[in-house]
Amino acid sequence: MAADKALDGEAGATPLSGKTVAVVHAAWHSCGSYQVNVSQIAAYKALGARVISIAMMDALSPPAPEGPRWPGYLAATGDLHADRRFFTAPPNHSVLTSALLLNGWWPLIHGDQATWLIELAKRAPLPEGLESERIDLIHANHYFTLPLAERLRGAARAPIIVETQDIQARQYVLRNQGGFFVPPYATYDDMLAVELDWTGRADLCVHLNEEEYLEFQRLLPGARHALIYPATKPVALSERGRNIVIVASDNYANFVSLRWFLREALPLAGDVTVAIYGNIDVGVKNRDKALYEEHRDLFKGRVEDIGAVYADAGCILLPTIEGHGLSIKAVEAMSSGAPLIATSQAFRGMGVDPRTLSNVMLREDAAGFASALRDACIRLGAGDALADSAVSDTRRLYDATFSPQAYARALARFAVPLVRAEN
């Protein structure tokens, strides 16, 4: 098809040439969702489109670049290569309005984060300058950006794709376990109802893993659905590495998984050295300071060149016991081609049996995980020759299913007909 030819380098085979796509997303960075946003923009550009980014802060905030969170976001998103970037946030003065107090704050103090985010998005203004853009397609991320996307569609009359990136109500239930709320508490069903109401308004619902795709089909039978596995840029191949590493961003599911590893598995592994990269160090320090202090030498924090970490990895650990949706960090680890020690939960939603991957050691309990970790340490210490990471089973799976080329081809099958139908 035309999209395939474009991605293989043939001139004139760009099916979205002359079209403008607006990617609407949360103003997040250093996480799996951000990497998905980067890959979306790259995919649409590969298909010939002009792409604009509209980043929405999910908290009351002054306009960019003012406020406490915008400088960090701007500094960490230099690889988001949109043709034009816009920024918006619900303004601070919204807190003084009775409507937000009644419709937003009141549900939030009972744990209803689904409603709170919708109310914030309703108050995020369309950025200045958008009026000069003729938008042909809107690709929104997460249900809570849809109030903003719908206002954008009102001006542009463009079709909307929403990329769900997990059932968010599940994440809110997890997050609420560590929060301070008052009864009556918002339930999973309460928050799911809000999420479904907005998700079903899109012209196409894109889901990033098999479990999520099947569940949304069941929950929203009247909507149109597509399963498109996400793309991440390949990390450096592990060709010279000897280090044992964990890479994780700061979210509650990652904290629970890492806590399990540090408390249950690592003490059984003996004298091994593990390095933990990513801003998960902040999450552990904030949620369990004693655990952080006990293992503070292992935490290396967020680094600018994460590729070098993967290149130097002789083994990557995925001690995943919590979380929903497809794990972007697991996809990154697979792209390195390095040997992996993982739980089966790390491969959730991928539609693959990890037992068939020869460079993956699956271990489901702490004792088994620790035993595999000891064995890996011995092999690396002995200088055993590493297999060719470029042709490892995980790298082959990444190329076929999770590479930017595979993602763009899949996206084109659904996005191009939507744009043509509208024009």
pLDDT tens-digit readout, 164-184 = 988 999 889 888 886 788 999
Give 285: exposed, middle or buried? Use CB within 10 Å, 0-12, 13-18, 19+.
middle
pTM, to two decimals: 0.78
pLDDT at residue number 332: 92
Q: Which pLDDT band holds residue 11 (cuts at 50, 70, 90)?
A: very low
**Element holding 277 (H helix, E strand):** strand 275-277
Establish whether the linkage from the previous residue to 65 is cis, with ω within 30° of 0.
yes
Burial 13-27 (b: 16+ CB within 10 A, else e): bbbbeebbbbbbbbb
Helix ranges, 200-251 (H): 210-219
Rounded to 10 deg, the angle between the 32-46 and 328-336 helix axes is 70
* Strand extents, DSSP E, 254-402: 275-277, 299-301, 313-318, 340-342, 360-362
**Element holding 245 (H helix, E strand):** strand 243-247
C-alpha span between 145 and 138 (Å, rounded): 11
Per the prediction, the chain carries an average pLDDT of 91
What is the fold of 2-231+403-422?
Rossmann fold (3.40.50)
Tokens of 14: 């760009």
Taking 3-state DSSP, the helix, strand and coil percentages for the chain, each rounded to the nearest 5, stand at 50, 15, 35
In the predicted structure, residue 7 carries a pLDDT above the cut 60 = no
In the predicted structure, residue 382 carries a pLDDT above the cut 80 = no
What are the Cα distances from residue 59, in Å, to 68, 86, 160, 259?
11, 17, 23, 28
CB atoms within 10 A of CB 336: 28
Tokens of 180: 């301070």
Question: What is the phi/psi pair of residue 163, to 5°?
Answer: -100, 115
Q: Which pLDDT band holds residue 423 (cuts at 50, 70, 90)?
A: low
Residues 36/44, Cβ–Cβ less than 8 Å: no
DSSP-based three-state secondary structure for 315: strand
| Same fold across 2-231+403-422 and 243-401 | yes
C-alpha span between 397 and 243 (Å, rounded): 23
**Per-domain residue ranges of the chain:** 2-231+403-422, 243-401
355 torsion bin: left (phi>0), alpha (psi -120 to 50), beta (else): alpha
Mean pLDDT of 297-305: 93
**Element holding 161 (H helix, E strand):** strand 160-163
CATH number of 243-401: 3.40.50.2000
C-alpha span between 120 and 152 (Å, rounded): 16
Beta pairing partners, 84: 52
Q: Which pLDDT band holds residue 10 (cuts at 50, 70, 90)?
A: very low
In tens, the pLDDT along 212-222 reads 999 999 999 99
In the predicted structure, residue 6 carries a pLDDT above the cut 50 = no
DSSP-based three-state secondary structure for 172: helix
Q: Among 41-45, 148-152, 241-245, 278-282, whose mean pLDDT is lowest? A: 241-245
Identity (one letter) of the amino acid at 296?
R
Mean pLDDT of 23-50: 94
Beta pairing partners, 50: 20
C-alpha span between 153 and 267 (Å, rounded): 54
Tokens of 138: 């809107």
Tokens of 3: 């999209």
Instruction: Please name which of 340, 336, 312, 351 lies closest in space to residue 213, comparing C-alpha atoms.
Output: 351
pLDDT at residue number 157: 85
CA angle 278, 280, 285 (to 5 degrees): 135
DSSP 251-266: -HHHHHHHHHIIIIIG
